[in-house]
Amino acid sequence: MENNFTIKGSLKIEGVRENLQWKDAQVTREYDVIVKDENDNPIKRALIKIDGKTYESDNAGKAKFSLILNESNYIEPKKMEVFEGENLISQKEIDFFTETPIIIIKD
pLDDT in tens, 5-29: 788 888 788 877 777 777 888 999 9
Q: Strands (DSSP E) along 37-86, which ranges?
A: 47-50, 53-56, 62-70, 78-84
Check: CB of residue 98 under 8 Å from CB of residue 106.
no
Q: Using one digit for the tens of pLDDT, what is the confidence trace for 42-56?
A: 999 999 999 999 999
Domain that holds residue 101: 5-13+24-105
**Of 21, 37, 31, 29, residue with least CA distance to 4:** 29
The confidence score (pLDDT) of residue 1 equals 52
Asked, for residue 19, whether it belongs to a domain, the answer is: no
Asked, for residue 89, whether it belongs to a domain, the answer is: yes
Asked, for residue 63, whether it belongs to a domain, the answer is: yes
CATH (domain of 92) = 2.60.40.1120
Asked, for residue 18, whether it belongs to a domain, the answer is: no
Number of domains comprising the chain: 1
CA distance 78 to 98: 11
Asked, for residue 74, whether it belongs to a domain, the answer is: yes
